[in-house]
Structure 1
Amino acid sequence: MTGAGTATVAFSHEQTLAGDLVDSDSDGNPDAFKTGRNPSVTELELSNALERMREDGAVEPVDSVATRLDGAVSVEAVVSKDVHGEVEKLVFNDAGSGFKSGRASSATFYLGLDFLSGTAERELSGCIPLEYSIDWENDGMVSYSLSMAYVDETTNTSITPTGITGPSDGNDVPFHGFSLSVDGASVSKLQSASLSISNIARFQWGDQRQPVDAVIENPETTLDVDAIFSGPSRMELAYGSAGASATEDSLSNVSGSIDLSAAGSAVSTYQLAKLKPDTYGWNDLVSSDTDTTDSTSFHVNGGVTIV
């Protein structure tokens, strides 16, 4: 934002990669959604991947040629009941409920800026998810981050989408609208938690500057948990199983879930099929003014299901 201007961050689902947009009510205007309240664009970069050309007899390069066009955009916002289901449809290609093999979901993002002498909008087409996380701290709002690659972009002097659906009062998820359970028990005295997914999708390339298709890659999910130490349950899982008092040769899987709600109304539940501790540690073991916490990083396998 420049001076006293305003910015717009919105998106529309695509029917095909960088193709027609979804218009669910067939009114001629594609469905458009805001990303959530307190939005921020943490990355927005277009790369032409220039290759320098050298010529015999010349000390310096004589030209540069554009090769692949690479676009990167990342957004963050507070989770909202009104729009986060649409974010999940972009991340999870099985209609927002999980992952399935095949093509990745994609969207067009509209990033607009009203500056002192006009409006500039960058319209990013073919945005596919690369990394996604749900992040929680014990005094604030539940937020998410989404990193994407995109196929191409155009510019405009006005904000393109109309009738954008956005968050409404009372539907933002606060820290007390988040609950985490591991092995059937709620994690008490939670201090921070993050569910992160990487390697979600990738482009397929052909004989042109822009990618021609996008497929699901190899999604890998991690759950990071930090809580005031109140018992050995997570340490036992790191040893191998519930009740273990020494390290075992193999580790047992346990299930987990994350529930998100706003004003007592359900927003999303993330069902985590199989958890195994990758690392486990104690923090602030000797401190006069800080509670000792234990930090666990779980591999999440067997699928993430959203209901």
Structure 2
Amino acid sequence: MDFFRTPRVLNDPAAYAGWQQSEHAGRRETPPGSPRGSSSFSMHSLHEALPGLRSRSPSPEPSGHWYGPGAAEMHQREQEWAHLSARTLRHHPADAQAGQAIHDLSLVYAGSETFRRTMATVDAEGPVNVRVDPEVSTAYFRPHGREVVLGQAYTGSRPYAMGVLAFELTNASLSEAYSAHEREAAMRRMSPHEFAEGAERIEYNSVRDTHRYYEESRGVLYEAGLDVPQAWQSSVTEEGEVVPWTGSEDESVHNAMSTGHFGQYAQSYARRPY
């Protein structure tokens, strides 16, 4: 229940090193990516559910009509996030990359009402463990154990670490929907195609909401120097309009079919001993 289509740079160490150098030099390049690697119900990284990564140019400055939270509200939201994340998002103290990604999401929490609603659901359903695993090349949410695992390739870039973590936390907020789909699949003995399509339609909520988080918090991210629309499945036009990479539920299902993600769901379901 996670997905992030990724380019081939992860498979080329020289290219990945070049990407890291360009990131540190202040250029915003396409992020490192990875093939699918998780065998859990969440078996894909955020990029793979999307069309191919767009070529990128610098993101235009948010237009003058954008209004973000004022200083007092920003401080209040930061305090709220500090308490909520300490209560709900658990990570090992030595895992500095996980801690940084969690901390950075305070910006999105301050700017995005949609993200605040998502996190209220996650909080109500119980703590989530967050960890970075150098042996994992994807990112995924593991429902059994309520754990988000981030591949280290993503955490080298603060904007992408935020985007991936926000996506996986959104998947966590959809646990009830996935559980209901699992129960219906067992009761009706769905075909693998039916099961995969239902799962993809649920997951579109994460695709859609990840874009909304960016759309609503872009001004805050821009001020912090962390404005990378591609990390949030979005693009910004020359006129400054924020547009999603995936425009509808049907388009999301089509993309999943073309990338092989749909097939992963279907194959996993087909192996079950029903």
TM-score category, normalised to shorter length: under 0.3
Higher normalized helix content (fraction of residues)? 2
TM-score by length of 1: 0.23
Higher normalized strand content (fraction of residues)? 1
Q: Which has the larger Rg?
A: 1
**Structure with larger RCO (C-alpha < 8 A, sep 6+):** 2
